[in-house]
Chain A
Amino acid sequence: MFAAALNLSAPLMAEAQTRTGNPRPMDEGRFEAFYRRNAGSLWSYLFRMTGHEAVADDLLQKTFFRFLRANPVLASEEHQRRWLFRTATNLAMDHFRETKRERAVELGDLPESGASMEPREVLRHDMMKTFAELKPRERALLWLAHVEEADHEDIGEALGVKTHSVKVLLFRARKRLGELLTKKGLAPEVRR
């Protein structure tokens, strides 16, 4: 899980290991195994962020290209995974800036769910559409916090914001998604 990947109890020590360790350069076999372990969850993240399979494919490949080019000397696979998510987030944000599309999936891009769709497809479609109404940063915050179970420090690192700001930003993102779900009648009742 990303939670384990992001959860650094002693980041400085890990960084020291990063520099002084003797990691092997990644050969094709190791890369393939590493890719198979991490590409699925990274793709899911990029797809939920961008809303486009082709864009998610493209950004996934770019992330791994950068990984291979940078050949980051990191202490463990958890660190490498954290590196991947941070780079993928940066690439996704760059993509939004380049395409000038604040929302990865513009609402017009997604057709209304129709009778020709299977129930599973309708559900997926409606969920994607709801998520797409959030800002990219809100999507990233929610995905990293809820799905990857990353802590605030690591979310902050991935998004380039200070750790103490993550609490506020995450609260706002949750509120906003909660409002959207309430508006659509999808919100669960939270009994206080």
Chain B
Amino acid sequence: MSCRFESDVLRAAQEDQWSDSVRRHLHECDDCVAAAAVAPWMSRFAKIGDREHPLPDPQIVWLKAKVLQGTVDAARVSRPMTVVQLVSYLVVAGGWAAVLTWKWDAVAAWLRGFTPTGLVQNVVSGESLSMSFFALVFILASMTVMLAMHTILAEE
């Protein structure tokens, strides 16, 4: 209460029964005047019937809350997995970018070599990409396929 007389003032305003002491108090307290001015209206406003249909059923609210809780729990449990998945995307994408940048000249030359002349020259010169490079590509390709499969299966 903003004023110790406020409850008396509110009661007087609602019942429209003003004692001398309350009336005297109104001369010196703007807070109570403002409270008294709206109290009867607020009291009537609170009493008007406002529900034309019943409240939501408590059993339904309970069930919905449990379902929502289940969804929240599932999201919480799967959060670490989602993080791991995101990190895997970044690692694979970064791996491909690094490998291709590191060996781009050799890869471009290797691709250009897929012509009759190029194949002969490669055989004669014995130039080619190293086995370790192909092993790296194989590992990255396997990871990409596994990640794609995991994503598809997880979504399903």
Contact = CB atoms under 8 A, between A and B. Distances in A.
B51 A152 contact: no
A96 interface: no
Interface string B9-46: 01001001010000100110011011111111111111
A124 B62 contact: no
Contact of B68 (A65, A120, A147, A192): A65
Interface in B46-68: 46, 48-53, 55-56, 58-59, 61-62, 64-66, 68
Contact of B46 (A147, A151, A170): A147
B131 interface: no
Contact of B33 (A40, A151, A190): A190
A171 B34 contact: yes
Contact of A31 (B10, B31, B37, B58): B58
Contacts of B62: 28, 31-32, 68
Contacts of B68: 65, 69
Interface in A101-132: 120, 123-124, 127, 131
B2 interface: yes
Candidate in A53, A166, A174 with the most chain B CB atoms within 10 angstroms: A174
Given A53-B53, A61-B56, A167-B31, A190 B37 contact: yes
Given A36-B58, A44-B50, A167 B2 contact: yes
A187 interface: yes
A159 B155 CA distance: 42
Given A28-B59, A68-B69, A146 B39 contact: yes
Interface stretch (A17-25, A72-80, A175-183): A175-183
A40 B52 CA distance: 12
Nearest to B29: A192
Interface string A148-162: 000110000000000
B72 interface: yes
Given A40-B55, A61-B56, A188 B45 contact: no
A84 interface: no
Contacts of A175: 34
B1 interface: yes
In this complex, the interface size class of chain A, counting residues with CB under 8 Å from chain B, is: 35 or more
A146 B38 contact: yes
Contact of B45 (A48, A65, A187): A48
A44 B46 contact: yes
A142 interface: yes
Contacts of A39: 55-56, 58
A69 B72 contact: yes
B56 A57 contact: yes
A123 B41 CA distance: 11
A192 B26 contact: yes
Interface of A: 28, 31-32, 35-36, 39-40, 43-44, 47-48, 53, 57, 60-61, 64-65, 68-69, 120, 123-124, 127, 131, 142-143, 146-147, 151-152, 166-167, 170-171, 174-175, 177-178, 181, 186-188, 190-192
Given A48-B45, A174-B38, 20 more contacts: A32-B62, A39-B56, A40-B51, A60-B56, A65-B64, A69-B68, A120-B49, A124-B48, A124-B50, A143-B46, A146-B10, A147-B42, A167-B31, A174-B34, A181-B37, A181-B38, A181-B41, A188-B36, A190-B26, A191-B23
